[in-house]
Structure 1
Amino acid sequence: MEYIIDYFESINPIVAALYATLFTWGLTTAGASLVFLFKGMNRAILDGMLGFTGGVMVAASFWSLLAPGIEMSPGEGFVKVWPSAIGFFLGSLFIFGLDKILPHLHINFKESEKEGLQTSWRRTTLLTLAITMHNIPEGLAIGVLFGGVSAGFEGASIGGAVALALGIGLQNFPEGFAVAMPLRRQGLSRRKSFMFGQASAIVEPFAAVIGAWAVSTFQPILPYALSFAAGAMIFVVIEEVIPETQRDNYTDIATMGFIGGFIIMMALDVGLA
């Protein structure tokens, strides 16, 4: 692990963010590839995976994004927390707007419950777009953190950025499977289910590069950018991930998956930062 951290310290932060999110995309692809090995997926396992995803995202939002953002903000008391509060609100508002515009359908929802603008797009496309929305703030968060390290901000570290990428990657693996298998159940071939599953995370490298470039170029925005990514992720968890896990008889499994994801992400961030 020290070798990996040393390597990321030696390269351009934008390139580092790109490599890190190619890794997270790769794990999504690996998870989606399981569709070639299994004929179906138990609903309890799906809900547990989604719970794990939510736990990682919530832990990352605080330990990797909000706490460093508050730490590096100037001033004392309420003045110190304002940049993070503003960024957090704007991040959640961004996903709120995207949620109202982008046509999508959550994994466990009926087709009559699709959200966003009305469209004739197929259910498979809508399911993929729903997971793609999860990945925009994840890629942005990784990029922003790498950009903060290059700017020399106290509280931003390569170890923390690597920990965030590792945590996001770990939850992307089951997420890829959780996208591909429902598509397979819809009647798609294994190959098409795999392609849609892995494509849901292709947005992460683009979001990461944009985030790293923005912070490297406009350094004062870092506290806002970190909390922006946190607000976006928290909105996704509350509005999408958690409701998806509460529609069947496996809410306890989903909750324990959430707890497990939170603990793992917290341990990674504290241990590697």
Structure 2
Amino acid sequence: MESIESFLKELGPVYAALLATVFTWFVTASGAAMVFFFKDLNRAWQDIMLGFTGGVMLAASFWSLLNPAIEYSAELYPNMVWMPAAVGFLAGSLFIFGLDKLAPHLHINFSESEQEGVKAHWHRTTLLVLAITIHNIPEGLAVGVLFGAAAHGVEHVSITSAIVLAFGIGLQNFPEGFAVAMPLRRMGVSRLKSFWYGQLSAVVEPVAGVLGAVAVAYIRPALPFALAFAAGAMIYVVVEEVIPETQRDKYTDLAVLGLIAGFVVMMVLDVALG
């Protein structure tokens, strides 16, 4: 871990964020590649994996993002410690809310009649990929913002904690890639195209990661706002997208257990290593 930390520190926050989010994309692509080896994905396992994804995102939102934002605000804004976290959290939530209302998309377990955003007569595959792309924006942003914060020497944020977050996001990206590619395969899409669209949904993560790192690496007062922004965006995705997708079949309890498992895994990683 020390050698990795030293290497990323030498790279600088922007290149470190790029490398970390390329890793999270690669893990998504690896999960999507499972479509070459399996014909189908049991619905129970799909819901468990989506639940696990939600749990990781929830835990990361607090321990990796919101808590450091509040603690750092005490240094920059001692008379209004609550303000940056509250404003950033609301802004992040509203940002994804806006994307959700504008971008045509369709969640994994939803029928075509339940398309969200501006109505468009696009192929179901395109709408599914757009839904996961929106989902992945806050994940990449969170990693980039944390590397930018680490570059500022924020007391409660380090390169190690940024690495842990990237690892946690990558951990939940593997089943997510599988969960995206397999429904496409069930719809009759070829294995190669199912893999292609599955990995394509995570290409936005390196873009969002670099933008997040650039935004905060050189603007110190914006750090707590940016950390809370990423947290708000992730929480919105979990509540609006991930949880509803796991509650549409008879495996709702298993999905909840998956969410709890993901939350505990990310919490342990962050507390023990971050």
- Do they fold alike, i.e. is TM over 0.5? yes
Deviation at 1:2, TM superposition (A): 2.5
Distance 1:189 1:104 in 2: 21
Runs (5+) with no aligned partner, structure 2: none
Residue 41 in 1 paired to residue 41 in 2? yes
TM-score, scaled to structure 1: 0.98
Q: After superposition, give the CA deviation of every residue in 1:179-230 in whole Å (9 maximum; x if it has no partner).
A: 0000011111000000000000000000000000010121110000000000
What does 1:207-246 align with in structure 2 at a 5 Å threshold? Answer: 207-246=208-247
Q: Name the aligned partner's letter for residue 74 of structure 1.
A: A
Residue 51 in 1 paired to residue 51 in 2? yes
What does 1:103-182 align with in structure 2 at a 5 Å threshold? Answer: 103-182=104-183
Distance 2:41 2:6 in 1: 39
Aligned to 2:89: 88
Residue 69 in 1 paired to residue 69 in 2? yes
Distance 2:11 2:119 in 1: 44
Distance 2:65 2:55 in 1: 15
Distance 1:11 1:235 in 2: 32
Aligned to 2:269: 268
Q: Name the aligned partner's letter for residue 44 of structure 2.
A: A
Deviation at 1:74, TM superposition (A): 3.0
Give the number of equivalent residue pairs.
273
TM-score, scaled to structure 2: 0.97
Q: Indicate the SS of the match to 1:73.
A: helix
Deviation at 1:175, TM superposition (A): 0.3
Q: Name the aligned partner's letter for residue 253 of structure 1.
A: L
Q: Indicate the SS of the match to 2:11.
A: coil
Q: After superposition, give the CA deviation of every residue in 1:3-45 in whole Å (9 maximum; x if it has no partner).
A: 2222212221100000000000000000000000001010000
Alignment RMSD, CA only?
1.1
Q: Indicate the SS of the match to 2:27.
A: helix
Deviation at 1:271, TM superposition (A): 1.6
Distance 1:78 1:60, change over 3 A: farther
Deviation beyond 6 Å, 4+ runs, structure 1: 75-78
Deviation at 1:81, TM superposition (A): 1.3
Distance 2:217 2:208 in 1: 14
Q: Name the aligned partner's letter for residue 166 of structure 1.
A: F
Q: Name the aligned partner's letter for residue 46 of structure 1.
A: Q
Aligned to 2:18: 18
Q: Indicate the SS of the match to 1:153.
A: coil
Q: Name the aligned partner's letter for residue 48 of structure 1.
A: I
Q: Name the aligned partner's letter for residue 51 of structure 1.
A: G
Q: After superposition, give the CA deviation of every residue in 1:144-165 in whole Å (9 maximum; x if it has no partner).
A: 0000111222211111100000
Q: Name the aligned partner's letter for residue 182 of structure 1.
A: P
Deviation at 1:78, TM superposition (A): 7.4
Distance 1:118 1:149 in 2: 41
Aligned to 2:255: 254
Q: Name the aligned partner's letter for residue 52 of structure 1.
A: F
Runs (5+) with no aligned partner, structure 1: none
Deviation at 1:240, TM superposition (A): 0.5
Q: After superposition, give the CA deviation of every residue in 1:57-113 in whole Å (9 maximum; x if it has no partner).
A: 000000000000000003688721110010000000000000000000000001000
Q: Which deviates more, 183-192 or 77-86?
A: 77-86
Q: Indicate the SS of the match to 1:79.
A: coil
Aligned to 1:4: 4
Deviation at 1:168, TM superposition (A): 0.1
Distance 2:143 2:124 in 1: 30
Distance 2:98 2:51 in 1: 24
